[in-house]
Amino acid sequence: MKALFKDAAAPGLSYTDRPEPAAGPADVKIRVLRTGICGTDLHIESWDAWAAGAVNAPLVTGHEFCGEVVAVGNAVHDVRVGDLVSGEGHVVCGICRNCRAGRRHLCIRTSSIGVNRDGAFAEYVVLPESNVWVHHAPVDPDLGAIFDPFGNAVHTALTFPLVGEDVLITGAGPIGLMAAAVARHVGARFVVITDISPYRLELARKMGVDRALDVSRESVADAQRALGMVEGFDVALEMSGHASALPDVIANLNHGGRIAMLGLPSAPIEVDWSRVVTHMITIQGVYGRQMFETWYAMSAMQRSGLDVSAVITHRFAARDWADAFATARGGNCGKVVIDWTQV
């Protein structure tokens, strides 16, 4: 099969032939139709400090995908050949305290596809049945390929109640954009998103935010005044990881405000902890998706009319993977999808 292969602990990827994986007794073999490019994939391709410390090279990369089941092991019970599926990329141990308590997203021995084990940038991928999500309602494969980051957005957005609340989202990358759509869908009053990319801010406007704020030109306080807000934001979703974002969020929250923090900082952040204490602010770290409550939520919202397909802005054939990566790295895009039926 054709695959994107990290053949050594060094920059670059190879578009090459690799052996097709075989399904074990409890596994599902999937013919990959589409994959999404994630920031993680860009880190792995460039082989930065994070990748050098986290990735088990050599391996096939990629973890966002949608495909068709072509084979199942003899211990598989519910997944059928022909099912259209996406995959939960965090493979958990099942026996640590969190797994046994039903908190599998907190497993201390998580192995991630495309990072610690062979992934989905290939014509075929194998996953345990327990990690396979079957799309029982019709789903475009392009959209199915981004259920993983869509799940990040849903997990973050639904950390705190949003109905009637004023929501601030810092970072208009694909996950921030999808979180904005989720906040609107579930009944937030005002949804404000910040970034410095004109392209992504315009995309946010098309996806229905009340205010898309270029923080290099305007302040969050300016947005509050323009919307007639007098008490600060109720809920913030920090998606950027930028060092200035969290302090700015804290400065613009109402007393009792809540922050769900998905963005990974690349450096230490200086926080006004006295304000966190006196304003009784809650900060909740968020990672991945709740298995599988988040998947049920996003499928239900998709079936009830939530449409995040506008976040997909570019599509490439698998053989043009280098152009796809360059587009994703350039930033003037939403989500970039690769078509593995065109190898």
Query: Which residues have a catalytic role annotated?
Result: 40, 43
What contacts 340, CB < 8 A, 6 or more positions away? 2, 32, 33, 34, 35, 67, 122, 123, 318
